[in-house]
A and B are shown apart, each in its own frame.
Chain A
């Protein structure tokens, strides 16, 4: 297929316009974090760094960050274990109900968040009679994070040479030794990528979180959501937003490095 130069130009211009459309709102948030007007009138009448100072002194904000990290780390660790186990089972064995198990893993993320949220809320409170705490949030997050680890490990295992494991067994290694010294080293970057995705998914989640968090449990997304409607606090939310966008570059940097290592 020969694409005419004019068609290339049109497609290129569309791509440029859409990329602008993607970044413009984020740039507005960046500009508003320095906007001296607390109602964020555009164009900014004057610039200030007050909001940045206010954000760094906000105790509630830092507590929310700590809560979010705690939840994300715990649910990622659970997802890493469960996701690896399922992937190992499904990639090595053909058995009845294999499709059902893989559907089971995907379902919590495929169904709308509000369904997962209300189902777990109902199960925790009405059926189990539990109080909602940080623990319930971790359980909920781990449930929908399993799929990211599973996908990454599954893809890696399917490319792995099974003879290596047989060779290890022939050389007298037990199952655990083979996993530790043969399988695991090959899985490491897949586990890293899957864990990173799980962490990001959990750190950013708000819908399931609102339904499974107790009263005192404020994750960062919940803090942002509670504060964006308060006139005096909304400008501080801009600062948090800018920091979040900037810190989202870190996982991309790592993901690119991991894939570059794999390509090499």
Chain B
């Protein structure tokens, strides 16, 4: 200890450059703030914000169908195409529908489990259950989608399980997409709701019951309003993550397409970046609308 102190007192006598910088910065909090922010803000703005703005701008450009080169002339053609053509409208509705369905299913599954974990399970089993639910969260996204490809296959376990009852696997298609997405994002929905329920104090529940409320009344009048921000935060995850997905669609969706697939084909095979940008703006607009809608509930502080 004494040795350490001695070693550290040495720079005080000399005027090392670090010390000069320190004594210059110490009375100047604004300069310190600027230095702290310089690197991260430059990185995020130069790389990400510029890229997003460029995406927006590119959506107004066009591609020469012969040379494949991008013409930097302003036109609304791409946006018009996305808004008026039946293909894009159908796919947009399908994508939003799938995202909503996945979100609703996940909430319905997550609420009872989160309630059981937070309010009924004993401390020890609660810890084990949190780990059991965290485990698949860490497991690879692709592994989970691939697992469902095996389960849903016509030679797979689901067919084998359901055959005795005269039923069969839904196979690869819309049902497969919804099941797989709901499965993949389920832990992301359970955990925020569980955390939200843990913040609902047990004394409030007891007070409600002492005042004569039945369980369902307590849930409706005490738990639900307190839990709403957590539920919305959870829904942002499942909704946004489903909205942008196209990998799961390729793995278990059969011939179906979501918005992500249209973007992907236009960047790759069709080489029409401007049209792809215009399509990509659709989920961005939907997501911003969704965020604006839920902003007032204070859910965003829960993310």
Contact = CB atoms under 8 A, between A and B. Distances in A.
A143 B43 contact: yes
A235 to B, nearest CB: 10
Given A174-B23, A248-B138, A252-B138, A207 B246 contact: yes
Interface residues of A, number: 90
Nearest to A256: B131
A238 B146 CA distance: 9
A95 B33 CA distance: 9
A127 B277 CA distance: 14
Interface residues of B, number: 100
Contacts of B226: none
Contacts of A173: 8
Given A126-B273, A174-B22, A42 B244 contact: no
A81 interface: yes
B208 A1 contact: yes
B39 interface: yes
A43 B41 CA distance: 55
B257 interface: no
Contacts of B138: 200, 248-249, 251-252
19 contacts: A1-B215, A7-B215, A19-B129, A19-B132, A26-B144, A28-B156, A110-B291, A112-B260, A119-B51, A120-B48, A174-B19, A175-B22, A176-B21, A200-B138, A210-B264, A224-B142, A224-B143, A249-B138, A256-B131
Closest 8 A-B residue pairs measured CB to CB?
A: A112-B244, A174-B22, A25-B147, A123-B51, A1-B205, A248-B138, A89-B36, A119-B51
Interface of A: 1-4, 7-8, 11-12, 14-15, 18-19, 21-26, 28-29, 32, 39-43, 81-83, 85-86, 88-89, 92-93, 95, 101, 104-108, 110-116, 118-123, 126-127, 139, 142-143, 146, 169, 172-177, 200, 204, 206-207, 210-211, 221, 224-225, 228, 237-238, 240-241, 244-245, 248-249, 251-252, 255-256
Given A143-B43, A176-B18, A177-B22, 7 more contacts: A22-B132, A29-B147, A114-B259, A123-B54, A143-B48, A207-B244, A210-B264
Interface of B: 8-9, 11-12, 18-19, 21-23, 25-26, 29, 32-33, 36-37, 39-41, 43-45, 47-52, 54-55, 58, 70, 109, 112-113, 115-117, 119-120, 129, 131-136, 138-144, 146-151, 153, 155-157, 159-160, 183, 186-187, 205-206, 208-209, 213, 215, 218-219, 236, 240-241, 243-247, 251, 259-260, 263-264, 267, 273, 276-277, 280, 283-284, 287, 291, 303
